[in-house]
Amino acid sequence: MTSGATAVALMTYTAPMVTLPEVAAALHTPLSAQAWLLNGTPLGLAALLLVAGSLADDHGRRRIFVAGTLALGLTTLLGALANSTWLFTLARIAQGAASAALLASSLGLLVHAFPTPTGRLRATGVWGAFVSGGIAAGPIVAGAFPNWRIGYVVLGAAALVVAALSPRLLSESRARRGGRPDLAGAVTFGLALVSLVAALTLGRDGWLRAPVGLLLLAAAVLLALFVTVERRTATPMIDLGLLRHPRFLASSSGGLFTGLAVLGLFSFLPALLQQTLGLSAMDTAWLFLLWSGLSFAVALQARRLAGRVSPRHQLALGFLLHAAGVLAMLGAVDAGSWPRLIPGLVLAGIGSGLLNAALPLLAVESVPTERAAMGSGAQQTFRYIGSCAGVALTIAISTSTGGGLARGADVVIGVSAGLAVVAAVLVGVLREAR
């Protein structure tokens, strides 16, 4: 049930990948604002994952899971009715907030239901595979209908069905910590993220403009205020002491660079291919199924590596395979040849599967068992912060590089590969002291 709900959440997240040109045309969205159509959901996710994980541990994981799934269904249906860029973006942000409650609590529910290491390995492996499965199915569902609004109605209805079944099939669990929700931390962290994403999105039109500088300054000040709040509150959203632990740092940095290098590129690349190669939404969805489908299959089988390859080394290998895969795609767009993308999509798909299998296991292993939802929320927060930044960066680079979109595609591919190599080195050196 938790894996199925996770897949639906990721389907709503990835649906705009192949329908972005159609949605932008229907809502009269200029090119400079299209990043908001993609970034709404990861912004809501990143802003609320930490507080959702903390609330789930303290006040009931099933309660937060059901509330999040119900809210996801309703907000997705509202997105189908949006008639302007800002209304659609607000609906996407609300979808992200609802998905945060669902995703953060789902791993906490699994840790409670599967307390043994073997059971936890199997459960988190399936959960990670369904992350890849949702990413794979979202563009197919969205591209299969003649109108993008119908796809949103179908996904909203699926979330409501899961919400209706969950109370009967899931048992409640919570940590006995008690205390009040960390509202001050949630507000300061959420505002810091909004300021950062707004700065990255507006930066496309000039990084030295006053609004961009002021937003970056606001993000830095709010983040410092968030750290101060977390140090003083009795029940913080995140235990900052965990940042001294290499395993938690590996989990967090792995999530951050997955967002930056992987999600940032693949969120916009389908739309870019439609604009440069003339592919339809459905053609693009089937092409990218090579990447996301392989990611699903590899994540499902990655548990067989347990005992031979640690989650940290799986992350490093996954990042290196992503780098090799995207580098293999260099020049394909400029040559106007979609078949040249296939080997790279295969390699990158295998790498993504390893990432999606290792990240949830490392997230719950890097924190005490009773704080599993908080650990999940922290890792996924960094993942979607990276996604927000990665999407904004990808669109900014690809649309402002001299030589047109084809040249821009090669530049963002090179940037993605470089970030993945940095991530592989970083998670490789973050190991527990003996």
Average pLDDT, the chain: 84
Q: Within 10 Å of residue 310's Cβ, how many Cβ atoms? A: 17
Cβ contact 362:379 at 8 Å: yes
What values do phi and psi take at 328, rounded to 5? Answer: -70, -15
pLDDT for residue 434? 42
Distance CA(392)–CA(374), nearest Å, equals 27
Predicted confidence (pLDDT) per residue in 315-339, tens digit: 999 999 999 999 999 988 888 888 8
Q: How much of the chain exceeds pLDDT 90, in percent?
A: 27
pLDDT for residue 34? 77
Q: Residue 39: which pLDDT band, with cuts at 50, 70 and 90? A: confident
Question: Residue 19: is its pLDDT beyond 60?
Answer: yes
Least confident of 176-185, 222-231, 241-250, 333-342: 176-185
**How far apart, in Å, are the Cα atoms of 386 and each of 245, 260, 391?**
21, 4, 8
Residue 351, classified by CB atoms within 10 Å of its CB into exposed (0-12), middle (13-18) or buried (19+), is buried
Distance CA(148)–CA(348), nearest Å, equals 27
Predicted confidence (pLDDT) per residue in 277-323, tens digit: 888 878 888 888 889 889 888 888 877 776 677 888 889 999 999 99
Q: Residue 90: which pLDDT band, with cuts at 50, 70 and 90? A: very high
Distance CA(96)–CA(90), nearest Å, equals 10
Tokens of 388: 């927000």
Predicted confidence (pLDDT) per residue in 354-407, tens digit: 998 888 888 777 777 666 666 777 777 788 788 878 887 888 788 776 667 778
